[in-house]
Amino acid sequence: MKYLVLLISIIYLVIKAKKYLQLLQQNWYDDDHRYLKWIWDNKQKVLLNVEIIMIILLVFFLKQELISFIIGICFYIVLIILEKKNKTQDKLPLKITKRVKRLIMTTSILYLIPIILFCSKDSNTINYLFLSLLIYMNPFVLMISNILNMPIEKMVGHYYKSKAMNKLKEMKNLKVIGITGSYGKTSSKNILYDVLDIKYNVFKTPKNYNTPNGMMLSINNYLDKFNDYFIAEMGAFQKGEIKELCDMMHPTYGILTRIGTAHLESFGSRENIRDGKFELIESLPTDGIGILNKDDEMQRSYKLKNTCKIVWIGIDEDADVKAINIKLSPNGTEFDCIFKGDENKYHFRTKLLGKANIYNILASIALGKELGVSIEQLIQGVLSVTPVEHRLELKKMGDIHIIDDAYNSNPVGSKMALDVLNLMPGKKIIVTPGMIEMGKEQDEINKNFGRQIADVCDEVILIGEMQTKPIYEGLKEKGYKEEHIHILNDVRLAFPLIGKLKEGETYALLENDLPDIFNEK
């Protein structure tokens, strides 16, 4: 009987540990105490769960061993069945990396000691109570395992960093191009790749590999000795992280997209965000080239501490490379490009939607021209650019048009996504959980987003009742009708609802899709 309870308990523990290991991974292995903050923000979900009932029952029947056996077996069997029944497809499934395997090993050792003690002693209710407490404390046991593994992870990181830096040193002819900003990094990276690939052998960081670990992986596993240029997307959550990437990679060229409030919570202030992003431009050598956005006031007003060449792009302000005669349509974008000192106008066309992408294209045109790509090749490269997955990507789902902007969201990007939706004919629907990691300004930013939504959308589907409360308030401030606001706690329910709400030609904007750590279910 004792071993049956133990077996069933371990099965449930493995299911639970996998879930919390996934959440630890999504929280960057507690970097900047993100996992600990998540536990604190979700303390009711983590601490006041059904496992408390098991512990209370065992305490109540402390002297009745047989009843304790039955409670232990039945309780965990029910929990296992419920976990299997309620299992949903994770947005970001657990990736079984070498680091995860090391965490599993350390966690297993931590649990193995009490399990051996459990097996070696006579069975009694106190043993089952102790086992249940260990299972209940699993989120914290994983955190202890993560702390214990830190010295090993630092040694592993140092090894792969040295390997990557040595590989870059050996590639004498390779030039590194860094791209950073609060948003638009991935789109700019892909556009620049398509533009330069017309003439050169180019490598870009895959997917969203924009952290030091992602960069090491890209260099060590994918970078080829025949590459002429390496386009490196650089992300950051706080000051100093872009500088760390630059010290590792030594970029010669840099593009700064737009500076906004993304990750305001971790940066602490707009000034810190601006200074952190400019670490790329200020790390460039004197013969390097930086591409800056003249329409971005935070870039325009910054006092640069570098003597490298700066090329300004813009639409509204006077710039070295400027877009005029812009035509936005549901099918793409057209504009004329003018270069300072050149009286000609050059016509560009792209399948990409929205004004934001014009800035990304201008940056690629500006740097491409500096690197010797001809105007004809630039025009051809821009025309060949395809939308990036989940970034204003227009696709069809049955008879409904989907504008997929689900990768991430920020105040500027969300407004431009609404502008794109507003270009479309027919009924307009938005599905959104709002914006996150905006610090103390988050509620006001989301409330303003609600006001903007009210001016464009016929139907609003909000994901997460608590998360979207400020959006709801913004909608109501604008007099938006209650019957057109739909609140769900599971994004999967949004698609059947869109099917019910559609009328004739319908466009649905998917604006942001929060990872599993923000689920309100």
Check: pTM over 0.85? Answer yes or no: no
pLDDT digits (tens, 9 = 90+) for 208-240: 788 888 999 999 999 998 999 999 999 988 889
DSSP string, 113-138: HHHHHHHHSPP-HHHHHHHHHHHHTH
* Distant-in-sequence, close-in-space partners of 442: CB < 8 Å, separation ≥ 6: 265, 435, 436, 470
- Residues 342, 324 share a domain: yes
Question: Helix (H, G, I), strand (E, B), or coil: what is residue 364?
Answer: helix
What is d(CA 295, CA 344) in angstroms, rounded to the nearest whole number?
Answer: 22
What is d(CA 519, CA 264) in angstroms, rounded to the nearest whole number?
Answer: 21
CB 426 within 8 A of CB 505: yes
What is d(CA 57, CA 73) in angstroms, rounded to the nearest whole number?
Answer: 13
pLDDT digits (tens, 9 = 90+) for 293-305: 999 999 999 999 8
Domain extent, residue 115, equals 2-151
pLDDT at residue 29 greater than cutoff 80: yes
The confidence band for 90, taking pLDDT boundaries of 50, 70 and 90, is low
Task: Look at residue 520 in the predicted model and tell me its pLDDT.
Answer: 53
For residue 242, how far is the Cα from the chain centroid?
Answer: 17
Least confident of 16-25, 68-77, 269-278: 68-77
CB 472 within 8 A of CB 432: no
- Residues 227, 91 share a domain: no
Sheet holding 400-405, edge to edge: 393-397, 400-405, 506-511, 427-432, 459-463, 485-488
- Residues 226, 341 share a domain: yes
Place of tokens 């390779």: 174
pLDDT at residue 89 greater than cutoff 60: no
Structure letter (DSSP) for residue 432: E
- Residues 414, 305 share a domain: no
Asked whether residue 166 is assigned to any structural domain, the reply reads no
- Residues 397, 376 share a domain: no
Largest CA distance in the chain: 93
Strand partners, 405: 511
CATH code (residue 252): 3.40.1190.10
Asked whether residue 158 is assigned to any structural domain, the reply reads no
| Among 354, 384, 414, residue at a domain's last position | 384
